[in-house]
Amino acid sequence: MIDTLLVLNAGSSSLKFQVFALSDLAMLAGGQVSRIGGEATFKASLASGEKEAGNLAPGTDHTAALAAVLEFVDRHDDGWRVAAVVHRIVHGGTQYVDPVFVTPEVMDDLAALSPLAPLHQPHNLAAITASEALVGDVPDIACFDTAFHANREDLFTTFAISGDLRAKGVRRYGFHGISYQWIARVLAEEHPRLAAGRVVAAHLGNGASLCAIERGRSVDTTMGMTALDGLPMGTRCGAIDAGAVIYMLRDLGMSTDEAEAELYNRSGLLGLSGLTNDVRELLASAEPSASLALDYYALKVAQHSAMMAASMGGIDALVFTAGIGEHATLVREAILARLGFLGAFETLVIPANEELMMAIDAKALLEASA
């Protein structure tokens, strides 16, 4: 019997999972359910190389998606026993700065943070509820995307607003922290000189942000109170004049829900190009709007990178990670072409591995509580 960690990353329409051996954190299997709520599909592969793919019942919800994952795990186990289910939680607020065992009280606290991450937090919590219902008497562990940024100076977490509003919790949190924690860890292990210096990490996936990492710690990051701020993303607008949002609500007569859907789902690369949020398709397109979207993206990543460098008083390395950062060479080159004025710095690509980072943290928590 092998004890395992089942690591889950639940999005609005997908449930990604990986299974790790608890003893040495070897990855045993991984995969994902896609298009939850629609024509759901399942795909998975084992460390042995064996793969499988198929369709799930139309309208599959998060609970049914997790049931499909568990059915796969049961079917393929060679005596695997799930020792803990580990969940990626987008928002831990100011309270949750380390991974924790989920209790009813933790669930209440995290549900109260849902308005700050309306597109992510409810799905993250749905996976915990599903896990509690399906997996049996096994601990659920929550890891937080906000945690890596939690100890920044007030100067970097505040907005220039009245004390009244600040007292109500309107402030910057920052996200993609598990990804940045992984980058800091890889730097410490493989590039100790850079780990001791000033690094701008660029997580460029469907969501996108930058983090100023100085001596292994987050100093500054481009996302703010919600995951809408900073860089333009696949379908999110990134930083936008708050006055524009007031105009949309008051003068264009949009409801709050309409404005939210506009800024989260119809903006970014999709909104600018009018074509797609997929960078591969934009790179292959001859449409001027595709070039505009990619040019704007590179400009904003470069501008915000310089901002992150300013927060640290310089830059020793720029690290790219996630789908676009790892694979879109032309986008990386367009960003770097705009940053020559910062002088010499190293450029690295480090593949994202949030799942392993979560497994490492969960194992440490289990050992600390044993």
Strands lying side by side in the sheet with 208-214: 217-221, 208-214, 198-204, 317-321, 346-349
Interface map 165-204 toward ligand ADP (x if CB under 6 A): ----------------------------------------
Task: Pick between residue 300 and residue 363 the one whose CB is nearest to ligand ADP.
Answer: 300
Tokens describing residue 36: 């939850």
Q: Does 327 bind ligand ADP (CB under 6 A)?
A: yes
**Residues noted as catalytic:** 145
Binding test (CB under 6 A) with ligand ADP, winner from 99, 174, 197, 205: 205
Q: Identify whether the C-beta of residue 162 lies closer than 8 Å to the C-beta of residue 112.
A: no
Span 222-281, contacts to ligand ADP by CB under 6 A:
234, 278-280
What is the number of other CB atoms lying within 10 angstroms of the CB of residue 61? 14
From CA 277, how far away is CA 234, in angstroms rounded?
A: 5
Q: Does 322 bind ligand ADP (CB under 6 A)?
A: yes
In degrees, rounded to 5, the angle at the alpha carbon of residue 150 between the alpha carbons of residues 148 and 153 is 120
| Residue 367 CB, nearest approach to ligand ADP (Å) | 29
Task: Pick between residue 174 and residue 234 the one whose CB is nearest to ligand ADP.
Answer: 234
| Residue 237 CB, nearest approach to ligand ADP (Å) | 16
Interface map 332-361 toward ligand ADP (x if CB under 6 A): ------------------------------
From CA 71, how far away is CA 151, in angstroms rounded?
A: 40
Widest distance between CA atoms in the chain: 63
Q: Does 328 bind ligand ADP (CB under 6 A)?
A: yes
Strands lying side by side in the sheet with 100-101: 51-55, 41-46, 27-34, 15-21, 2-10, 80-89, 140-144, 100-101
Q: Does 40 bind ligand ADP (CB under 6 A)?
A: no
Q: Which residue is nearest to ligand ADP (CB)?
A: 323
Binding stretches for ligand ADP (CB under 6 A): 205-207, 234, 278-280, 322-324, 327-328
